[in-house]
């Protein structure tokens, strides 16, 4: 079964219902052939091992605190902060507190 994503022109609640951060709070909001936008919820202490995205990526912190490691450095993301990574840049992260990220990837697909 196909997953329904946001249609063009549709309003999106990027925080999610009730603003609660839990295992069901992560969700792909927009997915097209060349664009993916998703809400990524992390509970405090969650570690995401080093991996790569298949495209240029922008990570925006909406809630909480996350240590984001890339390009040989660890940067602390807090609400209102964002960072950009080039295509296939290895990165990993650790949630210091419960956190909510909005991640946009311009997919590198032929």
pTM exceeds cut of 0.85: yes
pLDDT score of 106: 95
| Whole-angstrom Cα Rg for the chain | 14
pLDDT score of 23: 65
pLDDT score of 12: 82
pLDDT score of 98: 94
Low-confidence ranges of the chain (pLDDT < 70): 1-4, 18-20, 22-24, 109-110
| Number of Cβ within a 10 Å radius of residue 64 | 20
State the Cα–Cα distance between residues 24 and 3, nearest whole angstrom: 15
* Fold observed for domain 35-107: Jelly Rolls (2.60.120)
- Report domain extents, the chain: 35-107
């Amino acid at each position: 079964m196909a997953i329904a994503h946001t249609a063009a022109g549709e309003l999106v609640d990027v925080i999610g219902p009730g603003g609660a951060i839990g295992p069901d709070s992560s969700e792909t909001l927009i997915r097209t052939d060349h664009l993916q936008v998703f809400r990524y919820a992390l509970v405090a202490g969650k570690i995401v091992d080093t991996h790569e995205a298949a495209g240029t990526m922008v990570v925006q912190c909406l809630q909480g605190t996350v240590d984001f490691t890339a390009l040989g450095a660890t940067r602390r993301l807090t609400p209102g902060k964002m960072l950009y990574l080039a295509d296939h840049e290895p990165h990993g992260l650790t949630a210091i507190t419960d956190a909510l990220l909005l991640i946009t990837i311009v997919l590198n697909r032929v």
